Chains A and B, each alone.
Chain A
């Protein structure tokens, strides 16, 4: 069957998409909780105030609460975060750092989080992955990161800071974030 085409979320996505608990992959006070946060900017370096970030990830053991995980679903970790950008283009997701997830060949992937970016002006969502700058050994062995030209790899690395990790997303231009076709 032919798929339904994608269309832009338009400027009014905040009517229908955000949830009060969208940014809370885990609740406040959960041990190990951190803020994954950053700014979404356009090709001119201007912050985008009408974008929406969605994240999907494994739990700290590298497991998914999903029936298609062949190891069996582990209930209790939503794994999903959703946050609109504010007037300064900022988003923030409260979550736990994921564990390594098996890759297609069985080799472990470095800890990572899948990300969708929706915004007025994008006909399709764009997709990227967040890796963690302090996982140097795991990152060096990761097949997806190895497929990214070395000069652009840093655009996929979240950098530790006081509240968790900072991950900025540049939709276009110098240091454009690497986006993936899935």
Chain B
């Protein structure tokens, strides 16, 4: 009952659409990119490092853009009043982080691998482990909210949200295990690059 029934009308790109909010200055600290410590203790679960580069579809890095993430804890539970999943809340994990990309569009988070969780969409429905990502880009047209998945998740064939994207494009939502970024005896590395719309991109994204 939520998706509009009528086809969207084409909006020409004017100054309003080719500009966009420049955010983060004074809003983000280095500590915001570490999700593993809260309330004087360390979060439970498998430590991971998620990093990548934000570029536009013309291949240009997107510097100084705000990347926001939110996710479930290691047991697949969100710190939210509506989440009643029977899995413990972790008092040391809020599941929210922020970072700005650097001068070449790179970002890096330290967090905990989120668990899969049931969501009652259909019988025995479990969402694959994922981290929600929000990126602004440099223009109103580049705004993106997506979800990052983990390689080879056995739940992919059963998840309507993952499968809402055309098959050929799904792999672009899946991170890559990254041994080079893995820190010995401490955390696994995953690489997740993000590509926003370019200046000349048509509305036919995800093709």
Q: Which residues of A contact B (CB under 8 A)?
A: 1-17, 19, 42-44, 46, 48, 54, 56-58, 64-66, 68-69, 78-80, 101-104, 109, 112, 114, 116, 118-123, 125-127, 129, 143-144, 147-148, 171-173, 176-182
Instruction: Out of B9, B18, B206, name the residue touching A3 (CB < 8 Å).
Output: B206
**A1 B55 Cβ-Cβ under 8 A:** yes
Residues of B within 8 A of A78 (CB): 21
Known: A16-B68, A125-B145, A129-B11. 17 other contacts (CB 8 A): A2-B57, A3-B195, A4-B194, A5-B146, A6-B145, A48-B2, A64-B19, A65-B22, A68-B18, A79-B21, A104-B12, A114-B140, A116-B140, A173-B1, A181-B9, A182-B141, A182-B203
Given contact pairs A1-B57, A15-B96, A102-B15, A147 touches B206 in the complex (Cβ within 8 A): no
- When the two chains form their complex, are residues A144 and B11 in contact, meaning their CB atoms are under 8 A apart? yes
Residues of B within 8 A of A179 (CB): 4, 6, 8-9
The CA of A43 and the CA of B202, in the complex, are separated in Å by: 28
Residues of A within 8 A of B13 (CB): 104, 182
Query: Which of B's residues lie within 8 Å of A, judged by CB?
Result: 1-6, 8-23, 27, 55-59, 68-70, 78-80, 82-83, 94-97, 132, 134, 138-141, 143-147, 161, 164-166, 169-170, 172-173, 193-198, 201, 203, 205-207
Say whether A182 contacts B173, CB under 8 Å. no
* A–B Cβ pairs within 8 angstroms, 27 of them: A1-B195, A2-B172, A2-B195, A2-B206, A3-B201, A3-B205, A5-B146, A5-B173, A5-B206, A6-B206, A11-B82, A15-B70, A16-B97, A43-B2, A46-B1, A54-B143, A56-B19, A56-B20, A66-B20, A68-B19, A116-B143, A120-B2, A123-B161, A144-B12, A147-B10, A171-B2, A179-B8
Residues of A within 8 A of B19 (CB): 56, 64, 66, 68-69
CA of A147 to CA of B11, assembled, Å: 9
Pick the contact of A57 from B16, B144, B173 — CB < 8 Å?
B16
The answer to whether B80 and A176 have CB atoms under 8 Å apart is: no
Q: Are B145 and A118 in contact (CB under 8 A)?
A: yes
| B1 surroundings in chain A (CB, below 8 A) | 42-44, 46, 121, 171-173
A172 with B79, Cβ < 8 A, contacts A2-B169, A16-B96, A123-B164 known: no
User: Is the contact region of chain B dominated by helix, strand, or loop, or is it mixed?
Assistant: loop
Known A-B contacts A5-B205, A56-B20; A102 and B14 likewise in contact (beta carbons under 8 Å) = yes
Across the A-B interface, the 3 shortest Cβ-Cβ residue pairs: A16-B70, A80-B21, A180-B11
DSSP majority for the A interface? Answer: loop
- From B145, which residue of chain A is reached at the shortest CB distance? A9
Cα A101 to Cα B16 in complex, Å, equals 8
Nearest chain A CB to B82 CB, angstrom units:
6
Distance in angstroms from A63 CB to nearest chain B CB is 9
Known A-B contacts A66-B19, A143-B12, A182-B11; the reply to A7 vs B4 at CB < 8 A is no
B195 A4 Cβ-Cβ under 8 A = yes
Q: Do residues A172 and B5 form an inter-chain contact, with CB atoms below 8 A?
A: yes
